[in-house]
Amino acid sequence: MLSAPRNFFVGGNWKLNGNKQEIGKIINFLTAGNLDPSTEVVCAPPTIYLEYVRQTLPSSVCVAAQNCYKVPKGAFTGETSPAMIKDVGVEWAIIGHSERRNVFGESDELIGAKVGHALEAGLKVIPCIGEKLEEMESGKTEEVVFCQLKAIADNIKPDQWQNVVIAYEPVWAIGTGKTASPAQAQEIHVMLRKWLNDNVSADVAWKTRIIYGGSVTADNCRELARERDIDGFLVGGVSLKPDFVQIVNARQ
């Protein structure tokens, strides 16, 4: 069977980390790192540094916001709109990360609305889904991730899927040192792709990249990357370190 036409994708979510000096070091190792040219690389700095990072990183590395709101402007203190993100030259946004869901209480409905507005505004999006430890242990992984994915898919028009990369991040594996085994991650990715096939279209299921996040390291990335339905990674803390280059190059 032919391989799917999905370019490998690696995102680095810097979260609430970095200052200009530290960001300079990250940019240095990304610039010198001989990144695999067949991998699409996206870095997500804190909002205040978006424009600085976009101006400083090589053009071959894209930049993402870590969040955005569901309207272009208005009385929403502390929020950032897709229009503002685009205005500083940034092309991507991470939406619905588990920390937005579980620390800041964002609902499936709100995340779906954010995805829909960001796409309408011309951003590409990395919507995140994933189950918590207690949900996994009680056998509710499928129920949880399908509900999250439906709320997202309901807000995506057929011609917008090319601008969507889905990130599956089991919450129990984020920053804990625990990682889903390659077989576990592959099983969930197959399940998500089947959901897209059955509820959106076979074409969307075939072409949409589904990436994995959850304690991905330079040591385990190559084994994970060998799985057929794992199309890349969304990386947290390791994206601040030179080991990130090895993760970008996991398919080499």
Catalytic residue among 97, 117, 189, 227: 97
Name residues whose C-beta falls within 8 Å of residue 56's C-beta, 6 or more positions apart in sequence.
Answer: 23, 24, 27
Residue in 237, 232, 228, 122 with CA at minimum distance from that of residue 174: 237
CA gap 153, 96 in Å, rounded = 13
117 is catalytic: no
99 is catalytic: no
CA gap 89, 122 in Å, rounded = 12
Burial (CB count within 10 angstroms: exposed 0-12, middle 13-18, buried 19+), residue 222? middle
Tokens of 106: 């964002």
- Please give, one letter per residue, the 3-state secondary structure of 71-111: CCCCCCCCCCCHHHHHHCCCCEEEECCHHHHHCCCCCHHHH
Name residues whose C-beta falls within 8 Å of residue 191's C-beta, 6 or more positions apart in sequence.
Answer: 142, 145
Catalytic residue among 106, 169, 189, 227: 169
CA gap 166, 164 in Å, rounded = 6
Q: How far is CA 244 from CA 28, 74, 240, 247, in A?
A: 12, 37, 7, 5
CA gap 169, 214 in Å, rounded = 6
Tokens of 97: 């990360």
Residue numbers annotated as active site: 97, 169
